[in-house]
């Protein structure tokens, strides 16, 4: 076998070996899962465009129940008080769990929160419901402590320890 062929094969083999490593690393990159957090600072530049986009509500995001939910359907959940102030979660029909457990949608770093404190989910009509999951210190909607799953009105403050969240359009 000629020297040239063998050299080409030798370098080619090293190349495919490294290609495999690189592809594997790419798979890891695309394999991140958990919760996606967009940092606060990064948004500042894009703020204007975002605001412009917000004025025209994105149609495709209002998924199946879009027709029934009408104009007053909340689109996001906003933390208005506490260490996570400013955090928003887009409401896309998924259940949102709150608590200190690290796999909660919103991980509360709050001494008064239980590990699985409360959850917020849409019922069949697309009405958002908050339910206390047997927490120690309770979940408050406005001023009343929750005992049963309760529908949430737009802008009504839900208080867990020092954290306050509300639903917004």
Which residues bind to other proteins, rule: CB under 8 A?
1, 5-7, 9-14, 16-18, 20-21, 23-25, 27-28, 31-41, 43-44, 47, 51, 78, 85-90, 92, 94-95, 103, 105-106, 119, 121, 123-125, 129, 131, 148-149
Closest to other proteins by CB, 126 or 161 = 126
Q: How far is the CB of 18 from other proteins (least distance, A)?
A: 5
Structure tokens at 14: 């090293």
CB of 73 to other proteins, least distance (A): 16
* Contact assessment for residue 68 and residue 56, using Cβ atoms and an 8 Å cutoff: no
Pairing of strands 106-107, 96-99: parallel
Minimum distance from residue 105 beta carbon to other proteins (Å): 6
Q: Which is nearer to other proteins, 22 or 154 (CB)?
A: 22
The helix or strand, by DSSP H or E, that contains position 53, with its residue range, turns out to be: helix 43-55
> In angstroms, what is the minimal distance from the CB of 156 to other proteins?
17
The token duo for 16 is: 């495919």
Nearest Cα to Cα of residue 95 among 62, 68, 118, 114: 118
Quick check: helix, strand or coil at residue 18?
helix
Query: 8 or 154, CB closer to other proteins?
Result: 8
Query: How far, in whole angstroms, is CA 59 from its chain's centroid?
Result: 19
**Which residues, 6+ apart, have CB-to-CB distance to 11 below 8 Å?**
none
Closer to other proteins at the Cβ: 129 or 156? 129
Minimum distance from residue 121 beta carbon to other proteins (Å): 7
């Amino acid at each position: 076998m000629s020297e040239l062929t063998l050299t080409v094969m030798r370098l080619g083999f090293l190349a495919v070996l490294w290609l495999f490593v690189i592809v594997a690393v790419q798979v890891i990159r695309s394999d991140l899962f958990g919760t996606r957090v967009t940092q606060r600072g990064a948004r500042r530049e894009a703020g204007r465009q975002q605001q412009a986009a917000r004025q025209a509500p994105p149609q495709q995001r209002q998924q199946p129940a879009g027709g029934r939910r009408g104009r007053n359907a909340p689109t996001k959940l906003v933390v208005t008080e506490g260490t996570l102030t400013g955090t928003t979660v887009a409401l896309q029909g998924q259940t949102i769990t709150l608590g200190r457990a690290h796999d909660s949608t919103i991980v509360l770093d709050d001494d008064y929160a239980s590990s699985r404190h409360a959850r917020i989910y849409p019922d069949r009509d697309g009405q958002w419901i908050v339910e206390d999951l047997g927490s120690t210190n309770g979940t408050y909607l406005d001023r009343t402590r929750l005992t049963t799953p309760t529908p949430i009105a737009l802008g009504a403050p839900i208080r867990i320890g020092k954290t306050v969240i509300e639903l917004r359009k």
